Chain A
Amino acid sequence: MSSEAPSFARRSHGWMGIKRGHRARPLEWIIEKGIQLVSYSAIVMVFLIFIFVSREAMPIFLGQMDSAAVRPALSVDEAMKLPKEDLRKYLDMTPDEFVKADAEVIKMLVDLRIESSANETTDKDAKLNTTQWSHLLGPYQWTGYTKPEYIWQPVGTIHKYNIVPLLVGSLKVSFVALAFALPLALGAAIYVSQLANPRTKEWLKPAIELLAGLPSVVLGFFAMIVMATFLQSVFGYATRLNAFLAGIALGLAVIPLVFTIAEDALSSVPRSYIQAALALGSSRWQAAYKIVLPAAIPGVFAAAVLGFGRALGETMIVLMTSSASILSWSVFDSARPITASIAAELAEAVFDGHHYRILFMLGTLLFAVTFSLNLIGDIVVHRLKRRLEGKA
């Protein structure tokens, strides 16, 4: 090396200098591990969501809740034979109180229960535990009704927790949303990706994606204040806020999602396919319809699945456009989807009570269903991309 070598290039021990090993930089090692740990936070969050939402719902899944307004009173002898823990629960005492109370006090309390039960309502439904799965899913003939029915009526002395009307409401609204959004978004995706000239495309795409920037509460507001009146005057149905209106408004929220995924799938079909078709003498629309669309069909399917997941999970729009939770398959009747029930009722539900737990159970259900839908959608999109890129 020439004599002008500056001081920084000091080399010690010849080539031995490279033998310092990774331990030479402990700080860097720590930071690297830190980065790795932080990157796991997404995984941790998914687990925490599942755990903390389903934890509140566990007693419902395990059948440990009892929503009966009235429990049958036991005679003194029967009560004294109960195991201590059951006796304490029967008397609604805290462990502290129970320890302090002697046998006399307990006998007195049991007598009190017998007396008070004589004055309670005679409605046979009050003795039912409506959080059992048979009541959550099956119809029941409530007092005053002429036939077994599916009823969601969580507030009142008798809590009616049948979730079928909510499930039907969610499905009904989502199907209307898809029926409205899918054709529109798909048509637009084909037009923008295949047929529009590049200069129009440049502003069409962001314009449609701008729709995704509309907060759902704004769409809900627009549906409730403007669209409700407009649609009612066009179709002339009776209920102003109904599943049809909710579905159309929800469709507006689903359109940008379906459009983006479908457009992406259609655009990732290699240009060579189209050029080959054009070289064989087909027109642009034939190439789009017969070559590009079939090649991208899994992407279109995925767009529909993910759109459905989005529709099921959307809250504010359906909260603002739904009213009564009645069971009906007609789209012109009111519907109350799962999400709307959770949003509207959780604040009023008693903390740790059965209503509260059932709402969390619905949340768990929603999480599980959208989780599966998203998984299917993502797998399909991923496979399609790999295939079109020729990696599989």
Chain B
Amino acid sequence: MAEITTARMASDLVSSSMAPKTKEVINLDQLSLFYGTSQALKDISLKIRENVVTAFIGPSGCGKSTLLRCLNRMNDLIDNVRIEGTCEIGNQNIYGPDVDVVELRKRVGMVFQKSNPFPKSIYENIAFALRLHGVKKKNELDDVIERSLRQAALWEEVKDRLHSSGLGLSGGQQQRLCIARAVAIQPEILLMDEPASALDPLATAKIEELVMDLKKDYTIVIVTHNMQQAARVSDYTAFFYLGRLIEYDTTLKVFTNPSHKQTEDYVTGRFG
């Protein structure tokens, strides 16, 4: 059983190119996070490269989503959260005292596990994001909305009903609408929190294709509990277990020749 999984993964890995050694843009140093008194992340040090896809994998509750939400400070919304250590993006500590969270989030976009289109029309969903950034002219809005929907591979499906509700779309379409919304404002970094976990295999395939396509423009960090998915789309993989970073390397290395026993057990499906 384990061999079959590994064999299939190997074929996936062949298709993913060799991990490019681009500039490091995110730099975590000794990052710890506490919910009240319980520690959810323990001393995580990690450098994420530009214009590649980095996957966070690990069993449920290992802290991978929590870490992802640290990167655009979405954890600020939760009461009682305390963070130690530093998290630098482009050499700026994003937890520094004079950081404007709003500005940060404009540049570190996020796609959530559960698709969350606003109860507005498809057009308005994206226009809302653009208006936040000062795009007001009708023709400029039209242009960017079309381009974003094309980027999210949704344009062909919705071009005739741009003004109908975003809630009327299928699950996979809704998620792509959320991706279109996130890329419309052209963030440098795109965080994806299990973007395909609630979708059927066909929709998942579309999202994965999209992720690989988007990496030429964006730095993508994707959380997934689906190892095949990580193997298929990512260049680098970080494996987390119980709030600790166990292993971080190129995806090829993590899946074919992991240096830790725990990683090997997890990627071959022995636990998790």
Contacts and interface: CB of A to CB of B under 8 A. Distances in A.
A29 B191 CA distance: 28
B74 to A, nearest CB: 15
Nearest to A16: B92
Contact of B100 (A9, A11, A14, A19): A19
Interface residues of B, number: 26
A158 to B, nearest CB: 63
B138 to A, nearest CB: 14
Interface residues of A, number: 19
A19 B217 contact: no
Contacts of A45: none
Interface string B180-193: 00000110100000
Nearest to B92: A15
B104 interface: yes
A11 B103 CA distance: 11
Given A4-B147, A15-B89, A15-B92, A21 B100 contact: yes
B91 A15 contact: yes
B252 to A, nearest CB: 28
Nearest to A5: B186
A4 B216 CA distance: 14
Contacts of A18: 89, 92, 94, 99-100, 103-104, 107
Given A8-B134, A18-B107, A1 B96 contact: no
A4 B150 CA distance: 14
Residue picked from A9, A18, A21, most chain B C-beta under 10 Å: A18
A391 interface: no
A14 B90 contact: yes
A1 B96 CA distance: 27
User: What secondary structure prevails in chain B residues at the interface with A?
Assistant: loop
A21 B97 CA distance: 7
Given A15-B92, A19-B92, A20-B100, A9 B217 contact: no
A6 B144 contact: yes
B98 A20 contact: yes
B81 interface: no
Nearest to B136: A8
B213 interface: no
Nearest to B93: A19
Nearest to A2: B217
A18 B96 CA distance: 10
Nearest to A23: B98
Given A14-B90, A15-B91, A8 B99 contact: no
A21 B99 contact: yes
B157 interface: no
B235 to A, nearest CB: 19
A162 B127 CA distance: 72
Interface of B: 89-92, 94, 96-100, 102-104, 107, 130, 133-135, 140, 143-144, 147, 185-186, 188, 217
13 contacts: A8-B134, A9-B185, A9-B186, A11-B188, A15-B89, A15-B91, A15-B107, A18-B89, A18-B94, A18-B99, A19-B99, A20-B100, A21-B99
Given A6-B135, A15-B90, 12 more contacts: A4-B147, A8-B135, A9-B185, A11-B107, A11-B188, A14-B90, A18-B94, A18-B100, A19-B100, A20-B103, A22-B100, A25-B102
